[in-house]
Amino acid sequence: MDNIDIVKKLLDNDVNLKNQVKQLIKLNNTDNWITLKDACKYTNLSQSTLFRAIKENKLKVSKVTGKLLFKKLWLDNFLES
């Protein structure tokens, strides 16, 4: 294997790594985060029901931004439990 082949292989690996990173970014895209209002629509549950589930640690929520934000996966897991 000469130097050119090694460089090509490294570039191919770099492209694969970039694609993997892009896929991870898509999975963690902010579109997956929804507000309390949207969570109520998505689950067809009231705000008080979601508040109770949060208080009882049955439903995960992020409060980092000062707003209650949910991942759809968390809501799906809550609905399945």
- CATH no. for residue 58? 1.10.1660
The pLDDT score that the predictor gives to residue 30 is 53
Query: What does the pLDDT look like over 68-78, one tens digit per residue?
Result: 999 999 999 99
Tokens matching residue 42: 């998505």
Query: What does the pLDDT look like over 25-65, one tens digit per residue?
Result: 665 655 678 999 999 999 999 999 999 999 999 999 999 88
Burial of 70 (0-12, 13-18, 19+ CB in 10 A): buried
Note down the domain range covering 14.
3-80
Total domains in the chain come to 1
Q: Model-level pTM?
A: 0.61
Cβ atoms of 48 and 38 within 8 Å: the answer is no
